[in-house]
Structure 1
Amino acid sequence: MSERGTPEGYDLIGDVHGCGATLAVLLERLGYHQQDGVYRHPRRRVIFLGDLIDRGPRIRLAVSIARRMVEAGEASIVLGNHEVNALAYCHRAPAEAGRTWLREHTPRHNRIVRETLAQYRDHPQEWQQTLEWFLTIPLCLEFDGLRVVHACWDQALIDELRHQRPDARIDLDFLAEAERSGTRASRILDRLTRGSHLSLPEGMHIRSGDGFTRRSFRAHFWARQPRTWGDVVFQPDSLPDDLESRELSDEERSRLSYYGPDQPPLFIGHYWCEGIPALPAPNIACLDYSAVKFGRLVAYRWSGETSLDADHFVWVDVPQEERARVTPQEIDFD
């Protein structure tokens, strides 16, 4: 297959979160091999689902592998909420915003990006180039027969985005607008990269496995006529008390997106799934299986099928034991 040829299929890879060595192992397992510093396959290409950065031990390696593949035409990628967060954290706000940075440097925000900034600390030019590359990444992709977005495919919002930006890419002006609550840019960016959230009752919270306290929960978008919170909750953390049986209000239901079974196959990340990869709907695959929390780095091998098949998942377990972790001497580009 030539660089511009049509691939036989795509290998979609979920949230890497800095597990760069594990990414290399997964690519090798999928039949990709390094040639001139780029992982290549003779007949297939990769699509990354975003969230390359934050938390993991080899963030620069993960970004370098993905970026080299994308720039060589061996992969595509969509923007994740962690790339969006980094862009906003590292760019100054307009003077009229009343704050220094687009994303304020609060303790919570500092914690999320801390590991990324630490690993790039001695490589400031590389970090600046990485931020510039993030701005070239689209929020969504639609190829013949499949769709890709980091968190939620909301057709109306995607149509609105593409009307303004046919390539579905953001810039710093869009990002600045999106940081203002209630704007259309804010709604588009939040829904596509973070999905839907429903607020918990006053005084209730979830203590998540990643150490954060949350006062809302992540809701999915493929229940046709959901009645209760339990019909739409989509995260590893359980709802407190008996809230799964709580009835959805009309206002809550109106804020949920819906992706029907007649739509093309859709691939998402973002949701911190656990266990053996499974399909939440016949035409939807979530590929985020908590790799950086010693879960699995997961891919789906898509070859044109309209009904997805769980047998097409491929994954690498991320070991907790230091002695069992892969050592990427042969894949470190430094």
Structure 2
Amino acid sequence: MAQDDGVDGYDLIGDVHGCGHTLIRLLEALGYRAEDGVFRHPCRRVIFLGDLIDRGPSIRLAVSVAKRMVDAGEAHIVMGNHEVNALAYCHQAPSDSEREWLRDHTPRNNRIIGRTLEQFHAFPLEWEACLSWFMTLPLCLDLGGLRVVHACWDEPLIAAFLARRPDARIDRDFLVESVQYGSLAQRILDRLTRGTQLPLPPGVEIRSGDGFTRRSFRTHFWCRNPRTYGDVVFQPDNLPLGLEDRPLSAGERERLSYYPESAPPLFVGHYWCKGVPALPRANIACLDYSAVKYGRLVAYRWEGEERLDANRFVWVDVEREGARG
């Protein structure tokens, strides 16, 4: 996919997570104005990094703003893991399956999607339209000078995916296959939208800031020769005491991805960063700064540069839910 004709640059926006009013404030700060219900810029386009839904106070608004822009050709978007979760949660499993839904309706999964279903409860046709739209979202974008994926650009898996789905979009058969652990569809969808996680040692767990107990930790993909857990951990929650220096096993290192320094600039979301936006490397930017946890909704203004510049980050603080999110 090539860059859009007549466009001077792209504004890449991280995980919105239902902060619809904050999204509008960010778009306005970037110079976009609403015309006939669509936010437009005279010479720029937006690229959303996925995870429009769940957690926030104005999920329907967030989806509506993004979808209208994409439908009008004013934005692109890639699928996030929360869109994947919603599709699997709301699609029944095949009749010969032991499960009823592709994503089980467990207390944990119910909680993750709960606010989205609450806010769409009185609008079932709108929710069905959202699910249909989610199914059309590509998993990755390569516009020549820049690349976009929600969590991790894994070159071998992306090549395998594009050989099977040249438009980078999934379908129902792919979604059904993805719930089979170890299948190619599962490995592609998991790596591109969730990144890599390594299991914690037996008996060790993390009580995460979002209220979940986790027995694994998120890792990044830009360390050439990682040796310890601390070399690759990439999440807001600290590892339990002593694990930063724990050596990676050969098997753990094999599970990790690596994005070369010579590759085009890459933009991801997903990782719940905190603080002032910064670049982990000159060709990688993470734009997820925990907006829904009253952090920042972050954009990067890309204008063709091969080496990214931290001065091009733009963000707005998320107001507390008592005001508007």
TM range (shorter): over 0.9
Aligned amino acid, residue 310 of structure 2: A
Give deviations 1:14-55, integer Å, cap 9, x for gaps.
Answer: 000000000000000000000000000000000000000000
For residues 82 and 209 of structure 2, the distance between their equivalents in structure 1, rounded to whole angstroms, comes to: 18
For residues 79 and 98 of structure 1, the distance between their equivalents in structure 2, rounded to whole angstroms, comes to: 27
Give deviations 1:149-207, integer Å, cap 9, x for gaps.
Answer: 00000000000000000001001110110001110100000000000000001111000
Residue matched to 1:167: 167
Aligned amino acid, residue 230 of structure 2: G
Give deviations 1:98-142, integer Å, cap 9, x for gaps.
Answer: 010000000000000000000000000000000000011000000
1:1-334 equivalences under 5 Å are 5-320=5-320, 322-323=322-323, 325=324
Give the conservation status (yes or no) of the 8 Å contact 2:16–2:52. yes
For residues 250 and 96 of structure 1, the distance between their equivalents in structure 2, rounded to whole angstroms, comes to: 38
Stretches (4+) displaced over 2 A: 319-323
- Unpaired segments ≥5 residues, structure 1: 327-334
Aligned amino acid, residue 319 of structure 2: P
Residues 284 and 39 (structure 1 numbering): CA distance in 2 closer, same or farther, change over 3 Å?
A: same
Give the 3-state SS of the residue equivalent to 1:267 in structure 2: strand
For residues 319 and 25 of structure 2, the distance between their equivalents in structure 1, rounded to whole angstroms, comes to: 13
Give the 3-state SS of the residue equivalent to 1:97 in structure 2: coil
Note the C-alpha offset of 1:260.
Answer: 1.0
Note the C-alpha offset of 1:322.
Answer: 2.5
Note the C-alpha offset of 1:321.
Answer: 6.8
Taking only the aligned residue pairs, the percentage that are identical comes to: 69
Aligned amino acid, residue 46 of structure 2: V
Note the C-alpha offset of 1:96.
Answer: 2.0
For residues 114 and 236 of structure 1, the distance between their equivalents in structure 2, rounded to whole angstroms, comes to: 23
- Unpaired segments ≥5 residues, structure 2: none
For residues 172 and 157 of structure 1, the distance between their equivalents in structure 2, rounded to whole angstroms, comes to: 19
Scaled by the length of structure 2, what TM-score is found? 0.98
Give the 3-state SS of the residue equivalent to 1:242 in structure 2: coil
For residues 285 and 122 of structure 2, the distance between their equivalents in structure 1, rounded to whole angstroms, comes to: 38
Give the 3-state SS of the residue equivalent to 1:95 in structure 2: coil
Aligned amino acid, residue 297 of structure 2: L
For residues 319 and 129 of structure 1, the distance between their equivalents in structure 2, rounded to whole angstroms, comes to: 29
Aligned amino acid, residue 42 of structure 1: P
Pairs aligned (count): 322
For residues 127 and 319 of structure 2, the distance between their equivalents in structure 1, rounded to whole angstroms, comes to: 28
Residue matched to 1:331: none
Give the conservation status (yes or no) of the 8 Å contact 2:195–2:220. yes
For residues 39 and 278 of structure 1, the distance between their equivalents in structure 2, rounded to whole angstroms, comes to: 27
For residues 321 and 100 of structure 1, the distance between their equivalents in structure 2, rounded to whole angstroms, comes to: 35
Aligned amino acid, residue 220 of structure 1: H
Residues 321 and 102 (structure 1 numbering): CA distance in 2 closer, same or farther, change over 3 Å?
A: closer
Query: What's the RMSD between the two structures over aligned residues?
Result: 0.9
For residues 307 and 322 of structure 2, the distance between their equivalents in structure 1, rounded to whole angstroms, comes to: 39
For residues 87 and 27 of structure 1, the distance between their equivalents in structure 2, rounded to whole angstroms, comes to: 27
Aligned amino acid, residue 219 of structure 1: T
